[in-house]
Amino acid sequence: MIVHSPAPLNAEPPLDRLRASFVTGQPDFYVRTHGEIPTLDAASHRLRVGGRVAQPLELSMQDLRTRFPRRSEMAVMQCAGNRRAELNQVRAVDGDPWAGGAIGNARWTGVALADVLRAAGAPDDPSLHVAFSCCDDVELPGEGRFRFGVSIPMAKAMAPEVLLAFAMNGADLAPEHGHPLRVVVPGYAGARSAKWLAAISVQEAPSDSPIQQHDYKLLPPDITSDSIDWSRGVTINDMPLNAAICDPAAEARVQAGPVALKGYAVAAGRGIARVDVSADGGRNWRQAELEHDPAAPWSWTFWQATLDLAAGEHELVVRAWDSAGQTQPARPDDVWNRKGYLSAAWHRVRVRAD
């Protein structure tokens, strides 16, 4: 793993390793933590469900496993800061300089959040919010020390794909992935998929945690200083269309002739309609072959293409198109923002063919 920070632990796999398997193993799955990794005992852990519910609940892991139907969903998890490093090349941004590996695709198993909310008698009112409180202590500059918390809108919370997960690829969650219980919100930025989940609250406003109020917002490009008016930011939930070249690696030396390009593409809640690749910086394009599992709409699409490279320097590029005929902006400058989120311009990799 490429470790951006040992404490809190933030690490991502090399891209060729990520692309080696459609389902990302736990050891290869990026780790994004905001504080120390809690050590929790599954036997004594309790989940409280409260707020605007008719029947507050306190549930053990055993309760969750036995009182609710088990559900599995194959889904991508990705950090809102995935590919942030490219924005740093435009102008400096905050946060760890993720390459394209702050993403993974796993089969998550647990129970539907909707089932738990219904058991607690939560009103199915789309104007409400479902807040998650967690066991990890977080420190943010200027915000002090607090427990991690976020929220999602009720309409998404009631969607069948949103899980309270206790397993990943058929095994218990590893400590760094939220053992014993985490939220999985397919399509949303990873920050909403709260780990080490302790409490759920149904409420009229979004979470008042600084993570929800002051972080994970898309700021307009004219905010460049440290003094940030957060009210001008848009809360990041659904993630945009994105694609990356995983192989060959940046600055790789390859043999001149046919070269295989491989990567991923993702379009939260939409399908990938087409993936274009270029060997000349985007002047000429060819279409990649797509590999997708139609039974797993929240998973990613793998793509591959073979391009004929003459000896010399080449700028390889990928861009994806979603099912609404929407495509990605060409340059990182087109999406630059102070916090370095949603870096989703064409992905470019320079290689040399000998």
315 bridge partner residues: 280, 350
In this complex, which beta carbon is closest to its own copies, that of residue 73 or of residue 276?
276
- Provide, rounded to whole angstroms, the least separation between the CB of residue 186 and its own copies: 13
Q: Which residue has the tokens 């990705």?
A: 78
By CB under 8 A, the residues from 34 to 53 that bind its own copies are: none
Could you say whether residue 224 binds its own copies (CB under 8 A)?
no
In this complex, which beta carbon is closest to its own copies, that of residue 101 or of residue 240?
240
How many residues contact its own copies, by CB under 8 A? 37
Could you say whether residue 9 binds its own copies (CB under 8 A)?
no
Could you say whether residue 206 binds its own copies (CB under 8 A)?
no
Residue of the chain from 197, 241, 259, 305 that contacts its own copies (CB under 8 A): 241
Q: How many residues does the chain have?
A: 354
- Provide, rounded to whole angstroms, the least separation between the CB of residue 332 and its own copies: 12
Could you say whether residue 229 binds its own copies (CB under 8 A)?
no
Could you say whether residue 223 binds its own copies (CB under 8 A)?
no
Residue of the chain from 1, 119, 174, 218 that contacts its own copies (CB under 8 A): 218
Cα 222 from chain centroid?
Answer: 26
Q: How far apart are CA 116 and CA 163, in angstroms?
A: 10
Q: Which residue intervals of 47-171 are DSSP H helices?
A: 61-67, 84-88, 113-119, 154-157
In this complex, which beta carbon is closest to its own copies, that of residue 150 or of residue 200?
150
Helices (H) and strands (E) in the chain, counts: 6, 24
Q: Which residue has the tokens 């992935």?
A: 177
Burial 298-336 (b: 16+ CB within 10 A, else e): bbbbbbbbebebeeeebebbbbbbbeeeebbeeebeebb
Residue of the chain from 60, 237, 304, 306 that contacts its own copies (CB under 8 A): 237
The burial class, CB within 10 Å (0-12 / 13-18 / 19+), for 256 is middle
Q: How far apart are CA 181 and CA 166, in angstroms?
A: 5
- Provide, rounded to whole angstroms, the least separation between the CB of residue 333 and its own copies: 9
Supply the DSSP symbol for 38.
P
Residue of the chain from 92, 155, 171, 234 that contacts its own copies (CB under 8 A): 234
In this complex, which beta carbon is closest to its own copies, that of residue 211 or of residue 342?
342
Could you say whether residue 304 binds its own copies (CB under 8 A)?
no
Q: Are 281 and 91 a contacting pair, CB within 8 Å?
A: no
Could you say whether residue 307 binds its own copies (CB under 8 A)?
no
Q: How far apart are CA 335 and CA 329, in angstroms?
A: 8
Q: How far apart are CA 180 and CA 45, in angstroms?
A: 8
Residue of the chain from 2, 90, 273, 290 that contacts its own copies (CB under 8 A): 273
Could you say whether residue 326 binds its own copies (CB under 8 A)?
yes
Residue of the chain from 125, 160, 284, 312 that contacts its own copies (CB under 8 A): 284
Residue of the chain from 222, 229, 251, 354 that contacts its own copies (CB under 8 A): 222
Could you say whether residue 341 binds its own copies (CB under 8 A)?
yes
Could you say whether residue 252 binds its own copies (CB under 8 A)?
no
Could you say whether residue 93 binds its own copies (CB under 8 A)?
no
Q: How far apart are CA 73 and CA 162, in angstroms?
A: 9
266 bridge partner residues: 242
In this complex, which beta carbon is closest to its own copies, that of residue 26 or of residue 237?
237
- Provide, rounded to whole angstroms, the least separation between the CB of residue 297 and its own copies: 11
The pattern of x and - marking residues 136 through 175 that bind its own copies according to CB under 8 A reads ----------------------------------------
48 bridge partner residues: 58, 199
Angle at 244 between CA 256 and CA 233, to 5 degrees: 150
Enclosing H/E stretch for 337:
none
Residues that bind its own copies (CB under 8 A): 218, 220-222, 232, 234, 236-241, 268-270, 273-274, 276, 284-287, 321, 323-331, 334-335, 341-342, 344
